[in-house]
Structure 1
Amino acid sequence: MVPNITPEQAVEDFLIERREEVSRASHRNYKYALKELIHFCDDKGIEYINDLDPYHLKQYKIRRRKSGIKEVTLKNNLSTLRVFLRWCAQAGLLPAGMDEMVQLPSLSSDQRSNDDMLTLDEVEDILDYFYKYEYASRRHTIFQLMWHSCLRIGTVISLDVEDYKPNKNLLQIRHRPETDSPLKNGEDAERVVNLGDEIIDVLSDYIQGRREPRTDEYGREPLFTTSYGRVTHTTIRKNVYAMTRPCVYRNTCPHNRLIEDCEAAQKKTQSSKCPSTMSSHPVRRAAITYHLNRNWPKQKVSERANVSIDVLEEHYDGRSEGERAMTRRQYLDNL
């Protein structure tokens, strides 16, 4: 007999079991996508998870698409739903094969790639703003380090003061899941990143004058801290949203809004509502594209950013065809 388990309880049990099996980023994505499933079930009066049927799954797909999300996001959401339905079948909550009832949308190459990316002019204007008004602040240092080294947010969070080696111009990146700072790709993500003199100056000035001295519960000294301890994903995301508002670094609004009347401009907590603001992913994508435009070999950029060449080419190489042709031409000129 199939037990009467609510959708909310099934999702909670699934997330608990998967917590130790996937990266934190993947777990957060699972949680977000399945939260939408719970809302759907509530609205449809689906009391128990075994009440789900193939038509409900069609309705859920239609509802998510109508919400205005991108096709790539829809595909990711439905992929998560498939994983969850397979888990439910293994737990005896649903018949086997329900996951196959979820049809994933086919994406064009343009849809598979996230085109959001900061331009070089925008990055330079943001850095100019930081050097003038917020030099060596935490958010200046994090932004410039991400731009210089193509780092993920999770990697930035994992760093300790001792990982920074200014005398050797390098940053040591380590996978430390036992003390709550895992890397997305585990031990394969461990590497040494070479640092230029400019970011060395900013990092050193941040540590000496702006870093809040904190030790975490494991006796480690996080490189980036708040008054509460090691900086979090939420804090960095909010900072990136706030710092990529054009009204902040250019003092103009490309959307013809009055800055003094715009909620997104006046409140940092509402920064994400600015149509031009961006998350950390476009910053990382812009950084990788910048390195490629400077004629870094893809293999070297792949190692620095800890991303496979296939993924780099599909999701992170934001160069136009003209820029790619120019890079190839420079190689030919050197033959």
Structure 2
Amino acid sequence: MSRDLSPREARDRFLSRRKQENTEKTVRSYENRLTRFVQWAEDEGIESMSELTGWDLDEYRADREAADIAPTTLKGQLMTLKQLLDYCASIDVVDNDLPGKVNIPSLSKAEESSDVMLKPEDANALLSYFRNSNTLFGTPRHAFLEVAWHVGARMGGIRALDLRDFNPDRQTLEFRHRPPTLLKNKEDGERVVGISEPVVKALRTYIARERFDKRDEEGREPLFCGRQGRPSDTTFRAWSYMSTFPCHVTQCPHGNRRETCDYARRNHASKCPSSRSPHAIRTGSITWQLLQGLAIETVAGRVNARPETIRRHYYRASEWEEFEELRAEETLKLDIGDFDE
């Protein structure tokens, strides 16, 4: 081996390469996972990546298991560690056989799937509430929820939308990979998605009444736009949590009064046990679209995911009838207002 790196140096070098190929969110995820490993290695006195052995890797897994983390979290951390070691092997920092010594656990479908999601019946109630509200119809949180639910897109994809990507006459949203706003899977994640008339109406109202006429640093006009231009991920998360408060449509399940509840404040919205993140909305949306009878391939195209991923996480043949292939134009009728409990 011609080079040597400390665990921290190896992590930083690996992340610098990932920045050229992955979204900012993905790189942050890599960094968070690998920082756990770096801290463990430094605590163990491991100064060089070349010192690592299969025993060390097994000890690290045991340390993470002792932390009582979720099975999916453990698997993600170990898979990322293997990617780091694959990279180190490619530049002759560790032996070629070391990455294969990372013992990545196999999970059941139940362990891989998240139970936390916005349920279809809750989405129906919430969107009905916003659609019938004189004060909240067309607000950023309402428009975001309409798009997040009816498309099932990732938060980064919604953030990347420009004003020109919305075609109200054709009832479509066009997702494009335009760095620095990135799509998962890059150009392969580009697609045109049909949306129903109520979603179009909500977006029209948002654009006319609420959207700030600003450009971002690249001179583009974001579809969702605030005073400073394209909103941050933090802003989108706040809209997500605030749009899914159960107290919009029912009595607080936690015994709080909205007028005095700390969760009702923007900066504390994520702490409400019943509010939902963008990912939870996406999970619920995918499940709902499948239950509506859309083909797995159709849903996968809409949400920018592989059909096998959809099958693994959302499809249970014992519970659902075989899906029928639908024509693309039929997705224009897909709307929560037609939800039948």
Unaligned runs of 5+ in 1: 329-335
Question: What's the secondary structure of 2:219's corresponding residue?
Answer: coil
TM-score of the superposed pair, with normalisation by structure 2? 0.83
**What is residue 285 of structure 2 aligned with on the other side?**
287
Q: Which has the higher helix share?
A: 1
Kindly tell me: are residues 91 and 238 of structure 1, through their superposed partners in 2, closer, same or farther at Cα, counting changes over 3 Å? Answer: farther
**What is residue 174 of structure 2 aligned with on the other side?**
172
Which residues in structure 2 correspond to 1:267-286 (within 5 Å)? 267-286=265-284
**What is residue 67 of structure 1 aligned with on the other side?**
67
Which residues in structure 2 correspond to 1:217-236 (within 5 Å)? 217-236=217-236
Could you tell me how far 1:258 is from its partner in structure 2?
A: 7.6
Query: Which structure has the higher relative contact order (CA within 8 Å, separation 6+)?
Result: 2
User: What residue identity is the alignment partner of 1:80?
Assistant: T
**What is residue 141 of structure 2 aligned with on the other side?**
139
User: What residue identity is the alignment partner of 2:82?
Assistant: R
TM-score of the superposed pair, with normalisation by structure 1? 0.85
Could you tell me how far 1:267 is from its partner in structure 2?
A: 4.5
Kindly tell me: are residues 28 and 199 of structure 1, through their superposed partners in 2, closer, same or farther at Cα, counting changes over 3 Å? Answer: same
User: What residue identity is the alignment partner of 2:55?
Assistant: Y
Q: Which moved more, 1:282-291 or 1:271-280?
A: 271-280
Contact kept, 8 Å, 1:253 with 1:259, in 2: the verdict is no
Q: Which moved more, 1:298-307 or 1:70-79?
A: 298-307
Which residues in structure 2 correspond to 1:1-335 (within 5 Å)? 5-131=5-131, 132=133, 134-177=136-179, 180-247=180-247, 250-254=250-254, 265-317=263-315, 321-322=318-319, 324-325=320-321
Question: What's the secondary structure of 2:81's corresponding residue?
Answer: helix
Could you tell me how far 1:235 is from its partner in structure 2?
A: 2.4
Question: What's the secondary structure of 1:230's corresponding residue?
Answer: coil
Question: What's the secondary structure of 1:229's corresponding residue?
Answer: coil
Identity of counterpart residues, as a percentage? 32
Could you tell me how far 1:247 is from its partner in structure 2?
A: 4.4
For 1:249 and 1:67, the matched residues in 2 are separated by 38
Could you tell me how far 1:313 is from its partner in structure 2?
A: 1.4
For 2:270 and 2:66, the matched residues in 1 are separated by 21
Kindly tell me: are residues 272 and 59 of structure 1, through their superposed partners in 2, closer, same or farther at Cα, counting changes over 3 Å? Answer: farther
For 2:188 and 2:168, the matched residues in 1 are separated by 24
Contact kept, 8 Å, 1:175 with 1:181, in 2: the verdict is yes
Post-superposition CA distance 1:112-145 (Å, at most 9, x none)? 2223222122112322443435221112111111
For 2:150 and 2:163, the matched residues in 1 are separated by 18
Q: CA RMSD in A?
A: 2.8
**What is residue 335 of structure 2 aligned with on the other side?**
none
Kindly tell me: are residues 82 and 257 of structure 1, through their superposed partners in 2, closer, same or farther at Cα, counting changes over 3 Å? Answer: farther
Post-superposition CA distance 1:152-210 (Å, at most 9, x none)? 21211111111111122222222223xx1222122222222222110111000101110
